[in-house]
Amino acid sequence: MKLSGFSYVRNGLEFDYPFIQSIQSVLPICDEFVIAVGDSTDGTREAIENLKSDKIKIIDTVWDMTMREGGRLFAQQANIALDNITGDWALHIQADELIHENDIQKVRKAIEENQNNPMIDGFILPYYHFYGSYDYIRNTRKIHRYEVRAFRNEKYVRSYRDSQGFRIYKNAEDYNFGKGSKGTKLKVKIIDAHIYHYNYVRPPKNMIKKAEFFASFWDKKDGTERREMKEDETYYYGIIDKLEKFTKTHPALMEEIIKNQNWKYEYDPKISNMSFIDKLLNGLTDLTGIRLFEYKNYKKV
């Protein structure tokens, strides 16, 4: 069994993505790792080259900003990397995601154990979504609990919507970058190995840059302009639905980054934008573990 990791990134240093740590977290179980590196101007490509791993293959790309709408560009970049892997299983990791060193072998083991099980197309992994600092995670109905991160590289699997997950399509015309059919959901099992998602935890000034740039993928801004920030300008993390204290350990690869955190964030549960309905539904989930009306981009078997 050959396992290929794949990802994509552009200007990861500028936007404070832990993309190097992300690659390193899954490299031990991958036979190869393919990454589509967009036309970066901040040394991102050089940083990946400096890992000096024979497993890593870089695919140089140019981001077509006319494809921003709905995050289609993200899906395109994920698919470019996917099209260049040679393994019979694929493992996707995004530039702000890591898997803990204590869990990573569980992923390889689960794939190997289901290699000959035709009922399994892939696997979903649970998430820790960090917010504000490395001390808090968000676990409400506004974010996904699981997502497809490993699957067989046999059928025509494509990145779904903005590369959050993956689905099976008949062919390229059927897919048409999300404008064709909705595809077929993968039949999956759960692997008890969390994805550590560091999307909303970075220095406030860099969080502003990141938020403004990626907002252009859902609004009419072209995403190429950079404004000068004021000296005292900072990102306001305060208004959020609900957070909980993270009491477990982070991946060792994040140790240096966490130690150098240069901003403070304290969650105030009194400041919440959670609706009354969501409070009831989240309360039900807290009591029973059941999340009613949950969106699932997969079929559990």
d(CA 10, CA 39): 6
CA atoms within 13 A on the CB side of 195: 28
For residue 232, the model assigns a pLDDT of: 62
For residue 220, the model assigns a pLDDT of: 56
CB-CB neighbours of 247 under 10 Å: 7
CB-CB neighbours of 287 under 10 Å: 8
Does 1-301 carry CATH code 3.90.550?
yes
Which of 170, 214, 269 is CA-nearest to residue 70? 214
Q: How much is the pTM?
A: 0.92
Question: What does the pLDDT profile of the chain (301 residues) look like in tens digits?
Answer: 999 999 999 999 999 999 999 999 999 999 999 999 999 999 999 999 999 999 999 999 999 988 877 778 999 999 999 999 999 999 999 999 999 999 999 999 999 999 999 999 999 999 999 999 999 999 998 899 999 999 999 999 999 877 789 999 999 999 986 677 889 999 999 999 999 999 999 988 888 888 888 776 766 555 555 556 565 667 878 789 999 999 999 999 999 999 999 899 999 888 888 888 888 888 888 888 888 877 889 999 9
Sort 258 into a burial class: Cβ within 10 Å, 0-12 / 13-18 / 19+. middle
Which two tokens mark 210?
A: 């990141």
For residue 225, the model assigns a pLDDT of: 57
